[in-house]
Amino acid sequence: MNLGNICDILQKVGHSIKVSTVFISNKTNEEDEMKKLVKNNVYWIGKMDWELESFHGADYSINHGSSQNAYLIQEEKMVLIDTVWKPHSTEFVTNLESEIDLAKIDFIVANHGEVDHSGSLPALMEKIPDTPIYCTANAVKSLTGQYHHPEWNYQVVKTGDSIDIGNGKKLIFVEMKMLHWPDSMATYLTEDNILFSNDAFGQHYAVEELFNDKADQCKLWEEAIKYYANILNPFSPLVKKKVEEIVALNLPIDIIAPSHGSIWRDNPLQIVNKYYEWSQGYQEDQVTIAYDTMWDGTKQLAHKIASEISEISPDTRVKIYNISHTNKNDIMTEVFKSKAIAVGSPTVGQSILSSVGGWIDFLKELKFKDKKAAVFGCYGWSGESTKVLREKLTDAGFQVVEPEIKCNWNPEDADFNKAEQIAKALIDN
């Protein structure tokens, strides 16, 4: 099955919709607006976090805020889908209590046990301790391991299981193992045709207007590809398989409601199409050069390689980043888009700079495929950096080309002349 077939199938079963205007609850000035209408009896009840600057500790940079999206379904049964991060749990529960009687929540769906989605469960379950929690078997392990409440009323589900919520509607569960945790799943609401996709199809991007057609499109796609490159790329084979599996279920999809960022209501299949494309060794006509330097010799080599690539192949996009001065996630996004990279470091301690070493460890973690690499660097005495770089990049899955620049002291013409060889090796098919 190719991308075109998938798109055709999804478009045939999908329906165009317009989402109603946003409902603004009656809050005091001190309280956040919480409940916003998504469609019919489905509401966003999450947290718009404008002050968030990093995620996964400091491992993921946040440039434009983010959101933790939770959802409330009010049919004959009342269903809560996910919660928000623990630091916002008091605010979340208080606001939710102002909107509904918590005791009327029939059950909770925990699509993923990570704390940004489940962190408010302990505070909520104190008030409604017997409420069923629908989740995968792995999510039971995750939630009990994190919160130490084995007595919670867990209801284990798997792909294809469903539950009736009244008014002719039901929820269908789809396991999303390793997208991006073993416990992950998505939940589909029939009739309204909403896919609550959890961490798939999201972005770390605060969109107060909530929907993709209201978002700044440049920022939206910038954050979407960054999210895929830095979080989901290691699981690309599973992404491809899961997209195909969802298609095989023949579910019409009008809205994709992820757990971070904008809700896709305008042509929601566009993000599905992109994920399918990104999952298959994605690359553009781009070369990314990443380096660190001690006394600017390695920096000079980086810029010379870039100029040679531009000279030989003017249509090829070239980007240069100092690893110590540029956020690693932003560099990795560019690596994801690239068909080749060049990595440089001077020799220090018979190895490479620690900044470059740590960066390559992260590079290996992301499991990029079908990309070339070249190495370069300056040295004063022992000169091991290019050897170390070559070994590490090979271990990270890159095809390392033979030409390299190993420069003793400051670069001279003989060193700069080697840049052309590297450029040709990187851009040749």
Cβ atoms of 68 and 88 within 8 Å: the answer is: yes
| CA atoms of 227 and 330, how far apart (whole Å) | 10
Q: Which of 186, 169, 179 is nearest to 41 (CA)?
A: 169
Q: How wide is the angle at C-alpha 112 spanned by C-alphas 106 and 113, nearest 5°?
A: 95
Pair 366, 333: CB distance under 8 Å: no
**Residue 225: pLDDT over 90:** yes
18-44 average pLDDT score: 60
> Over 90: is that where the pLDDT of 245 sits?
no
3-state secondary structure of 37: strand
Q: What is the pLDDT of residue 247?
A: 78
* % of the chain exceeding 70 in pLDDT: 92
Mean pLDDT for 323-343 is: 97
Contact 394, 400 (CB under 8 A): yes
Asked if residue 286 lies in contact with residue 316, where contact means CB atoms within 8 angstroms, the answer is: yes
Mean pLDDT on 367-394 = 97
The two tokens of residue 64 are 């434009």
- What's the pLDDT at 15? 34
Query: Using 50, 70 and 90 to split pLDDT, how confident is the model at 178?
Result: confident
Q: How confident is the model at residue 33 (pLDDT cuts 50, 70, 90)?
A: low
- CATH 3.60.15.10 spans which residues of the chain? 3-278
Query: Measured between alpha carbons, how far is 319 from 16 in angstroms, rounded to an integer?
Result: 39
CATH 3.40.50.360 domain range(s) in the chain: 286-427
Question: What number is the average pLDDT over the span 273-286?
Answer: 95
For 391: left if phi > 0, alpha if psi spans -120 to 50, otherwise beta; the answer is alpha
What pLDDT sits at residue 11? Answer: 41
Taking only the tens place, the pLDDT of each residue in 136-160 is 999 999 999 999 999 999 999 999 9
CA of 232: how far to CAs of 120, 181, 267, 355, 394, in Å?
25, 10, 22, 24, 21
Overall CATH class of domain 286-427 = alpha beta
Question: Over 60: is that where the pLDDT of 7 sits?
Answer: no
Read off the pLDDT band of 308 (50, 70, 90).
very high
Q: Percentage of the chain with pLDDT > 90? A: 84
Element (H, E) at 317: strand 317-322
Residue entry with tokens 């916002």 = 88
Helix (H) or strand (E) holding 155: strand 154-156
Which pLDDT does position 17 carry in this prediction? 29
Catalytic residues: 56, 112, 114, 116, 180, 199, 227, 260
Buried residues in 203-221 as b, exposed as e (16+ CB within 10 A):
bbbbbeebbbeebeeebbb
Asked whether the predicted pLDDT for residue 407 surpasses 60, the reply is: yes
Distances (CA, A) of 389 to 65, 394, 400, 408: 35, 8, 9, 16
Measured CA to CA in angstroms, residue 85 lies from 23, 70, 116, 121, 161 at distances of 23, 10, 4, 9, 27
Read off the pTM.
0.89
- 26-35, 258-267, 268-277: least confidently modelled range: 26-35
Mean pLDDT value of segment 402-419: 95
Q: Hey, CA dihedral for 205, 210, 211, 217, is it positive or negative?
A: negative
Average pLDDT over residues 11-39: 48
DSSP secondary structure string, 326-386? S-HHHHHHHHHH-SEEEEE--EETTEE-HHHHHHHHHHHHTT--S-EEEEEEEESSS--HH
Arch. (CATH architecture) of 3-278: 4-Layer Sandwich (3.60)
